[in-house]
Structure 1
Amino acid sequence: MECLIDGRRGEVFSQSFLLGETVTARTEASVRTPQDVVVEYGTSGAPTTFVGDGAERYRDLFSLMAWVTLAPVTDSWLRAGVTLGNVTEASDVQPLYLREADAVANFTTRKA
């Protein structure tokens, strides 16, 4: 499973997971272009499910790979997790920063 969050700026936040009895991270979280994702999966032919709003935003590009399934964006997976007792306390959630904030990236200074 490839999780893709729309990172704006023509990028996605991406991480791959192997699904079995447990969920195991296959890759580290990273910032990539949708084209980089296509290069990685474009010739593999391995059935893969893309999830997240990044998969939805670049649906036209990712749907060209016949072996990729694009899961609909929904909150049903959240409800299923809560039903199964898989919840995390809000105070335990830690942000993962993969790039500078837009405000920092767009900040410029004038020379006096």
Structure 2
Amino acid sequence: MRVLAVDTTTERGSVAVTEDDCVRGEVRLASSEGHSRRLLPAVAFLLHSLGLRPGDVEAFAVTTGPGSFTGLRVGLSTVQGLALGAGRPCLGMSALDVLAARIAGTAPASVALMDAYRGEVYGAVYDGEGVMTGRASVERPEALVARTPEVAAFVGDGAERHRELIVSLRPRALFPPRSLFLAGTLGRLAAPRLKRGEGVAPAELRPLYLREPDIRRPAP
């Protein structure tokens, strides 16, 4: 199955075309501030470079969160528009789940951490096969790490940012080297689920917000 996958949850955004378990091509986006301007041109460039037309895409996948509110809206609305125009199904996946899948099998447990700024992380703990063992949360990194197993592999930009803290609390922590551009992995994970009929209509995609929007009243 040919899948167009989009991830805009962090500054390391990406777009990929996958066919079953093979990543045919991936375009990486420079920063979250430019996702709204760069995403559609990146999709067009990728399809053209692979000799594909929008109608050649059989399904769409997108990371639904957690992450930047603006980034999530850009990714979701773009995929919804493309899928609606092509009449194709969609599948949304948590970016934390995609991160954990990238390091499944490297340790008895894995921890996906994304930088939530304000001194917090989005995070979740998984078993060695990449199955979440609790619930995703947003909290201080030291609070989340304190609940992790003694031996675990950590992944994500939150793990990069707080590596020193993690090691101080979990000296046996592992940090497998993995690219944090997720679209290729997302497409590969989505394909078997889409084949099983788990895809949804574009309008049914929902963002995964772990934190309330920061809405401020204008100054009088």
TM-score (norm 2): 0.39
Structure 1 pair 61–19 and aligned structure 2 pair: CA distance change class (3 A): same
How far does the alpha carbon of each residue in 1:23-79 deviate from its partner, in whole angstroms, 9 at most, with x for none? 3210111111011023224xx53x101111110111111122221112335147754
Q: Does 1:94 align with 2:206?
A: yes
Q: Does 1:61 align with 2:173?
A: no
Structure 1 pair 95–72 and aligned structure 2 pair: CA distance change class (3 A): farther
Matches within 5 A, 1:65-80: 65-75=170-180, 79=184
Q: Does 1:18 align with 2:127?
A: yes
Q: Does 1:32 align with 2:127?
A: no
Equivalent-residue separation in structure 2 for 1:81 and 1:97 (angstroms): 19
Structure 1 pair 67–77 and aligned structure 2 pair: CA distance change class (3 A): farther
Equivalent-residue separation in structure 2 for 1:35 and 1:109 (angstroms): 34
Structure 1 pair 78–100 and aligned structure 2 pair: CA distance change class (3 A): same
Q: Does 1:9 align with 2:112?
A: no
Query: CA-atom RMSD, angstroms?
Result: 2.9
Structure 1 pair 17–70 and aligned structure 2 pair: CA distance change class (3 A): same
TM-fit CA distance, 1:101: 1.9
Equivalent-residue separation in structure 2 for 1:81 and 1:99 (angstroms): 23
TM-score (norm 1): 0.70
Structure 1 pair 11–53 and aligned structure 2 pair: CA distance change class (3 A): same
TM-fit CA distance, 1:93: 5.1
Between the aligned residues of both structures, percent identity stands at: 29
Give 4+ residue runs of structure 1 displaced > 4 Å after superposition: 75-78
